[in-house]
Structure 1
């Protein structure tokens, strides 16, 4: 038996090559640009402004004054009442404003505070027509409440005060000179303004009205017991700040009392009224905290 010839094995077909997707060329990123290292910028410290900020706790002003006075009676029919002229006198004044509520709150009520002002002459004397000199004293003290209202461009203030303003010549009891002393007791309302012009310069102004409650010797039974009167006062000053807390202040002040005697016809001493005026120039230093 002859074996049959083996059948030929089927040819294995070579697989067709798999088509590969074309890869995009790899683009290398450009090398980073070298950065310059900048020196760190130091924060600049701004110098404190010499002008104080709102909400000051304490204000103190100490000044020297040059004082002038003019006192004149009107309608003095008998001509027995002398007028008084003071051409120059030296005085010192002190003003203190304190706002205690600033310790406890930042609200509007912190602007309500206390104010006290006073002035007194020193080394003053009065020479009578016969050439005799007598010691003389002039002083003013007033105090009360003050409310300040800070606005965008300026500061307003309002005050209600009680005060006394006296001018006394130490005449001996036997003197026949009919020159009455004055000791005005008054209630006062006032309005003030403060305006910063630059970092160092500022202006301040104040006006007040006084209702005279009594006049001292001039309103006694010896002169005009029915005396009544009122007063006006004003101040204008310029300031220069030396530091944030200290500065100089130069200004002038005027006080004018208009008096009506209300004397009856035939009274032992008769005059229709009187005008009592005071002028002063002030130079001082202030402290604000």
Structure 2
């Protein structure tokens, strides 16, 4: 009885094993979760931004090299576009890439995400480095760290490294214009050629052996490539640097300052030796050196400069005035000093024609009407009768040449002819009624620019009136002619906007 029970138990266990064995074998095994597999995640590919550097100022090269070096250290983030491409596009579009509108226009042309702008110009007496990031989509400034000063060629890279963290935050926020961000349509691979169908023929033809095609023989499909804009052929104006691209004429320019002037009146062929020469200032060989003070100023306004482009935008209204103060003249005995007034003013039209690379040069034509007065006032109703008061009314034409010699120095030279319409007492019936006269004027100015608005000017000028008296028998005075000239030397503060 016990043997049968044991046999039954063994039989039951074998049956259960046979039933559960296939189920256990069919159950899927779960892979073991390892730490290494848990850490592996698909890496997110970073966006590569097209960035260009635009630098200006005396240390522009150092700033450009330092910024491009920082970008080159991060090739997975940034693609560098040459500055020459930016300036060429700015010249072609007539835009300033350092402004919001100009940066957006240039970015749309070149597909830029951002522009790094570096300015190393001088402010006041010290040079500084001003860096900013402009968004390619709308041209707005995304980062503008505080300017670093002082700036030298050796310290510019240090300033760039200090400000790079703030600049890169702005670069990561930058976006390219939508019209350029969209990638170009991928090129579809050409379909494989089908083998030609053999022509049916009664003659048995052995089909050609097919060349086995290996996976290496298959041409892989081309990847989408963003087509970079082709550089256009350079026109003559494209060779200009940005400093001269599509320059707008100024709305107003002028100067004000202190002038020292002199005067020398000399007669020729004084038959009776009664005509008294006059000198104001130190006399050196009959030429008076500047020494008497005057306040001088000039102003030119271009009223259409902000509304029009072309010829009319460079037509201006111009005027100038020189006014003396504290002058005295003595009589023939030297005992009495007489108040003396010296004044000159001019008004007219000026037209400027720029030319040359980057419009660094300009040709001027100025037409004016003016008056030059030199008057000795009486004391106790008496004044020297041997010194005629002059008041020259003139119409003149002046030609000028202006040039930017360097980034800081400007030069201006003018030469003109004045036609006197009258000369006051000197061509009156009392003195020389038959006089014929003319005048020439010239000036040379050197200006040192403090910034884009102000400069300091040193100016030397000369006005020279010459006469031929043509006397008749019975005239009060007999002389062949005279020369009346006014040299001047001015120190002025100039402005341009």
The CA distance in 2 between the partners of 1:125 and 1:139, in whole Å, is 14
Shift of 1:123: 0.6
Long gaps (5+) in structure 1? 1-31
Could you tell me how far 1:166 is from its partner in structure 2?
1.0
Q: Note closer, same or farther for the CA distance 1:231–1:57 as it changes in structure 2 (3 Å cut).
A: same
Q: For 2:490, which of 279, 282, 285 is the aligned residue?
A: 282
CA distance in 2, matches of 1:49, 1:272: 58
Q: 1:285 to 1:251 in 2, by over 3 A?
A: same
Shift of 1:202: 1.1
Which of residues 309, 324, 329 is equivalent to 1:126?
329
The residue matched to 1:101 in structure 2 has which SS?
coil
Q: CA deviation at 1:49?
A: 6.8
**1:55 CA drift (Å):** 0.7
| Closer/same/farther in 2, CA of residues 101 and 38 from structure 1, 3 Å limit | same
Aligned partner of 1:166 in structure 2 is 373
Question: What is the CA distance between 1:73 and its match in structure 2?
Answer: 1.1
Segment of structure 1 superposing worse, 34-43 or 101-110? 34-43
TM score, norm. by length of structure 1: 0.83
How many angstroms apart in 2 are the aligned matches of 1:143 and 1:189? 12
1:74 aligns with 2:268: yes
Cα displacement (A) at 1:39:
4.8
Instruction: With a CA cutoff of 8 Å and minimum separation of 6, indicate the structure with the bigger relative contact order.
Output: 1
Shift of 1:174: 4.3
Q: Which residue of 1 aligns with 2:339?
A: 135
**Structure 2 contact 331–384 (Cα < 8 Å) conserved:** no
Residue of 117, 123, 137 corresponding to 2:320:
117
Instruction: Say whether the 8 Å CA contact 1:49–1:244 is kept in structure 2.
Output: no
Alignment of 1:44-63 (within 5 A): 44-47=116-119, 53-63=247-257
Q: Who is 1:18 aligned against?
A: none
Alpha-carbon offset, residue 176 of structure 1: 5.5
Partners of 2:366 and 2:120 in 1: how far apart? 30
Identify if the C-alpha distance between structure 1 residues 48 and 58 changes in structure 2 by more than 3 Å, giving closer, same or farther.
Answer: farther
Residue 214 (structure 1) aligns with: 422
Residues 31-71 of structure 1, C-alpha deviation per residue, up to 9 Å, x if partnerless? x9x99774558632243978895411101210211111111
Partner of 2:109: none
Looking at structure 2, the residues matched to 251 and 70 of structure 1 have their Cα atoms a distance apart, in angstroms, of 20
Describe the SS at the equivalent of 2:369: strand
User: In the alignment, does 2:400 pair up with 1:192?
Assistant: yes
Q: Secondary structure at the match of 2:262?
A: strand
Distance change in 2, residues 1:174/1:139 (3 Å): closer
Q: Relative to structure 1, is the Cα distance of residues 155 and 176 closer, same or farther in structure 2, using a 3 angstrom cutoff?
A: closer
Pair 1:145-2:349 in alignment: yes
Q: 1:99 aligns with which of 276, 281, 302?
A: 302
| TM value normalised by structure 2 | 0.49
How far the C-alpha of 1:129 sits from its partner, in A, is: 2.9
More strand per residue: 1
Structure 1 window deviating more from structure 2 (43-52 vs 123-132): it is 43-52
- Cross-structure match for 1:239: 447
**Kept after mapping to 2: 8 A contact 1:71/1:84:** yes
Instruction: Note the residue ranges of structure 2 that are not aligned, 5 or more in a row.
Output: 1-42, 47-73, 81-113, 123-242, 282-290
| SS of structure 1 residue aligned to 2:318 | strand
More helix by share: 2
CA 1:175–1:91: 2 relative to 1, 3 Å:
closer
Q: Tell me, in whole angstroms, the C-alpha distance in 1 between the residues paired with 2:448 and 2:383.
A: 49
Q: Give the C-alpha shift of residue 77 in structure 1.
A: 1.1
Q: Could you list the per-position Cα deviations for residues 262-288 of structure 1 after superposition, in whole angstroms to 9, with x for gaps in the alignment?
A: 221331222211100111111001110
Contact 1:124 1:137 (8 Å CA) reproduced: yes
- The equivalent of 1:108 in structure 2 is 311
| Contact map agreement 1:67 1:280 (CA 8 A) in 2 | yes
SS in 2 for 1:80: coil
